[in-house]
Amino acid sequence: MVVTTVLWRYWQKQQYEEAITEVCALLDVKEESFSSDQELLAAAADTEAIRPIPGSFPTGEAENLANLALFGCSCCNRLAERVRKDWRVAAHWCALARCLEAAGDGAGPWAMVRFERLFHAAEAIRVAGKDVLKNDETGRLTLPDYHLRASHRCLRECESIWLRWPSCTSSPESIYTCLAEVCWQLKDQQTACNVFLCSGRRPFTASTSIKAIYRCSIIRIADDRSRFR
């Protein structure tokens, strides 16, 4: 397989929605329905193994099924990135990618699509939190704790994937930029500033570390200014 000529044509034309519709039909995968926004976000950000894909291939064609599901995951991730500011739609595609991940073993290219799915889910959760901003003890508007911690879990899982499969992303610094912001909003300022710098396992250049410190400083200045508004 079996990623057919038709599917590749969809991919080349960036018609990812048409492609994923075809993939789901071939694999007999039904899109899930959710009773609440929180349930949708939980599915999008899920890190647990789920039921295997039933598929429509004869025994012995597991590799074909996996290749098709992997292609489908990539389509879902492209769609989630395309609509990342519409968090419900982005979360929908992340949740579907999570279903398709059940066909893989989590290694190599599967690590890459899983990384992308969780990174997009972290952003969807963060944007969703803006719909339900609340006042903290100082009167400032902040994201709800649930959204911050769920986004934090996704990003930590992204970090774990990257540390094991470094080729899963060409921009690992984006994990730590986002983690720093989330940690800061969780009022864990020390972690926010240290997260870029604390491990020799992260092969960043000196200039990257300087940019990270600068980023943390900007976040802190903005945070301090907001107290006096």
Q: Is residue 183 part of a domain?
A: no
pTM over 0.85: no
- For residues 171 and 162, give the distance between their C-alpha atoms in angstroms, rounded to a whole number: 10
Residue 132: which domain range? 5-139
Looking at the structure of the chain, the number of domains it has is 1
Is residue 46, in this structure, part of any structural domain at all?
A: yes
User: pLDDT for 127-176, tens place per residue?
Assistant: 888 776 554 555 554 556 778 888 889 998 998 999 899 999 888 888 88
Question: Where is 192: in which H helix or E strand?
Answer: helix 189-194
Would residue 60 count as lying in a domain? Answer: yes
